[in-house]
Amino acid sequence: MKNISDDDPVYWTRETQFQNAAQEIYKADVVTLMQRFNQTGGVHTLQRMYSCEIDDDGTVRGYEQIGYDGEDFISLDLKHVTWTAAKPQAVISENKLNSEKTAHFEKHYLENICIEWLKKYMSYGRETLERKVRPEVSTFHKHSSPDVVCHATGFYPKEVVIIWQRDGEVMLEDVELRETLPNQDGSFQKRSMLKVSAEELQKHTYTCVVQHSSLDKEIVKIILRDGRSGVLRIGVIAAVLVIAVFVGFLIWKKKSDFKQVPQNMNRK
């Protein structure tokens, strides 16, 4: 990484000086924005967010936006290399930044320097960032609901695809895809719910298909046509077996105890 060395003491000295100077600039900006919004006091926040991304094929993306008091204020349009105001109070800033052509500098930073730093940090954490863990997939019915749930958990990285199919055709309707959630161990979980009646389960074959970068082949789970009733029958049979075994044990125990009682005690 040319000109990038975060293990050099000079780098940290330079960056500290830069951030201290930026802090003073942000303080002055807050005072300016308070005047534009006719604010005379109180606590106010100026927030700047920026990000850069790189795909496996080398495509790069990025964004930068500035917010004031928790709302959008102005943002960078990378496609047109201009700043765009989100509020009337930001038009002055938009005109000033565009006249100074700062968007070109920010575009260069996000698509080049920021990407170099991103690659550097990726090399630091390659073992963690590039690890792949297979998802565990299960399907079940929600209680008192026509929803069938397909649940994938324990996978890494975060990106996963869950698809419902009916007779091999991808379903787009009656499907609710939930957001991806983190697990305590750093892996992720995600679920998708399908609304389907018992009658439809009898007529068609429904499958849940899960695709993930850790898999050589996608995981396919077939929903049984007897659905919930199949689970209930197994539960009833198991309960009957337990009762039968318990009753049999009591009968055997009673006979066994009778045989072991001494004869002189039986005569009393």
pLDDT digits (tens, 9 = 90+) for 201-218: 889 999 999 999 999 999
What is the tally of structural domains in the chain?
3
pLDDT on residue 191: 96
Do residue 22 and residue 118 come from a single domain? yes
User: Which of 129, 153, 174 is at the close of a domain?
Assistant: 129
Domain that holds residue 104: 9-129
User: Which of 92, 108, 129 is at the close of a domain?
Assistant: 129
Residue 115 lies in a domain: yes
Do residue 17 and residue 124 come from a single domain? yes
The β-bridge partners of 220 are: 209
Do residue 168 and residue 210 come from a single domain? yes
Q: How many residues are listed for the chain in this entry?
A: 268
Please measure the distance between the N-terminal and C-terminal CA atoms of the chain and give it in whole angstroms. 100
Would the pTM count as exceeding 0.85? no
Looking from the CA of 152 toward its CB, the CA atoms found within 13 Å total 30
Do residue 211 and residue 236 come from a single domain? no
* Per-residue pLDDT tens over the stretch 30-84: 999 999 999 999 999 999 999 999 987 889 999 999 999 999 999 999 999 999 9
Do residue 239 and residue 191 come from a single domain? no
* Per-residue pLDDT tens over the stretch 97-127: 999 999 999 999 999 999 999 998 888 888 8
Do residue 29 and residue 94 come from a single domain? yes
pLDDT range class, residue 265, cuts 50, 70, 90: very low
> 97-106: long-range contacts at Cβ-Cβ below 8 A with a sequence spacing of 24 or more?
103/76, 103/77, 106/50, 106/64, 106/76
Residue 155 lies in a domain: yes
Do residue 24 and residue 105 come from a single domain? yes
pLDDT on residue 128: 79
Query: Which comes out higher in pLDDT, residue 184 or 142?
Result: 184
Q: What share of the chain is helix, strand, coil (3-state, %, to 5)?
A: 40, 30, 30
Do residue 149 and residue 100 come from a single domain? no
Which structure tokens are listed for 62? 């990025």
The residues near 34 (Cβ < 8 Å, ≥ 6 apart) are 40, 44
Q: Cα–Cα distance between 191 and 204 in angstroms, integer?
A: 22
Q: What is the CATH number of the domain that holds 171?
A: 2.60.40.10
Do residue 146 and residue 211 come from a single domain? yes
Do residue 169 and residue 87 come from a single domain? no
